[in-house]
Amino acid sequence: MTSDPARPFGRVLSAMVTPFTEDGSIDLAGAQQLAAHLVDRGAHDGLVVSGTTGESPTVTDAEQRALLEAVLDSVGDRATVVAGVGTNDTAHSIELAQAAERLGAHGLLVVTPYYNRPPQAGVLRHFTSVADSTDLPVMLYDIPVRTGTPIEVETLVRAAEHPRIVAVKDAKGDLGAMAWTLARTDLAYYSGEDMLNLPILAIGGVGVVSVIGHLVGPRLAELIAAVEAGDLATARSINESLLPVCTGVFRTQGVITVKAALNALGLPAGPVRPPLVDATPEQLEQLHHDLAAGGVSL
């Protein structure tokens, strides 16, 4: 777990998949094994559970609680475990946040409410209401391609006034808006879009919440270290070496390809839940080629 206020959740976090068994039920033992594998490799400061890559829309509240408890039991003494609690219902998100706090989560990931597309005043009220409901630090999740609503700079500036809203996972990709937010707040920025890890770090991001981190966590740690050392030539070289991995993982939904890769490596992942569908043989063959080009052998 991190004690650095500049990076309240650490440097390298994986947006962890939720392992399922072949019949589609949640695999808690597999989740513990995967969490330990990621953390014991030495590069991961933390894990985000029940986020987008954790298939949270198709995981029940009871399953989310069981998953969080299992991961905390496995790695909670040596890694920051952040619970995804964002929904498009403020009351529901508060319930999930309070349950996560009771179970011992170290922080909360709260996505912008989706589908109902609230105005910015509603977005701000949602975030502050969830932050008011526990004593845990909060990472906001800005991903308008999924939610339909970006978090505007002025909203982030207002949200940053809350003592427990301390970070943003950015998958918006608006580097100008990010630069302004960094200039006007003390929010810690985490890259939530692996293809933009380097530029986000270069303008002041402190870490990554990564999908490809399941496969290349140590190299992401090297990337962050190079940026922090001011060695942009090395950082660019590492980033370029990771481009085939990013491309391969995101040819379709990232959770589909990452689960396929983990299964090929003999790690717990299992199938995805509908409406997602598992990788086809053709997609798996392409993934093998992409990852090999990025230095990852399945």
Active site residues: 141, 169
CA 108 to chain centre: 11
Q: How many angstroms separate the CA atoms of 242 and 44, rounded?
A: 17
DSSP 8-state assignment for residue 57:
G
The gap between the terminal CA atoms of the chain, to the nearest Å, is: 30
Nearest in space to 109 (alpha carbons), one of 127, 82, 89: 82
46: left (phi over 0), alpha (psi -120 to 50) or beta: beta
DSSP element (H, E) containing 46: strand 46-49
DSSP element (H, E) containing 192: none
Q: How many angstroms separate the CA atoms of 146 and 171, rounded?
A: 10
Q: How many angstroms separate the CA atoms of 286 and 282, rounded?
A: 6
| Axis crossing angle, helix 213-228 with helix 254-264, rounded to the nearest 10 | 110
| Axis crossing angle, helix 28-40 with helix 213-228, rounded to the nearest 10 | 30
> What Cα–Cα distance (Å) separates residue 298 from each residue in 6, 30, 68, 70?
36, 19, 28, 27
